[in-house]
């Protein structure tokens, strides 16, 4: 994430999404390295597809929510300075 776009407070707000991203990344790597269920082309492809899709969608959601949060905080700061 861009430090110029997201300040420290925004990153703290987005931590609730970063923790599940870390968990999903852990399972992607864990199932890639240690495959406890064996490898079946169809089932394993579906399994990785679901994990990777969830990771990508949550990452996109986190990015856009971070942009919205930082925009809202900037607007509030502008209102405070003009009042």
Answer whether residue 32 is part of any domain.
Answer: yes
- Name the token pair of 15: 């931590």
Answer whether residue 64 is part of any domain.
Answer: yes
Answer whether residue 82 is part of any domain.
Answer: no
Q: Is 70 exceeded by the pLDDT of residue 80?
A: yes
Range of the domain at 50: 8-76
Answer whether residue 54 is part of any domain.
Answer: yes
pTM for the complete prediction?
0.79
Lowest-confidence segment of 2-6, 48-52, 78-82 by average pLDDT? 2-6
Where residue 29 falls among pLDDT bands split at 50, 70, 90?
very high
SS3 83: coil
Answer whether residue 1 is part of any domain.
Answer: no
Answer whether residue 81 is part of any domain.
Answer: no
Q: Which pLDDT value is given to residue 27?
A: 94
Angle between helices 15-33 and 41-82 (to 10 degrees): 160
Answer whether residue 2 is part of any domain.
Answer: no
Mean pLDDT of 24-38: 91
Are 15 and 66 in contact by the 8 Å Cβ rule? The answer is no
């Amino acid at each position: 994430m861009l430090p110029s776009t997201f300040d420290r407070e925004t990153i703290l707000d987005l931590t609730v999404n970063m923790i599940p991203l870390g968990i999903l990344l852990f399972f992607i790597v864990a199932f890639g390295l240690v495959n406890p269920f064996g490898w079946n082309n169809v089932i394993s492809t579906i399994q990785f597809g679901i994990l990777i899709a969830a990771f990508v969608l949550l990452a996109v959601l986190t990015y856009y929510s971070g942009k919205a949060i930082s925009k809202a905080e900037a607007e509030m700061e502008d209102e405070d300075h003009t009042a």
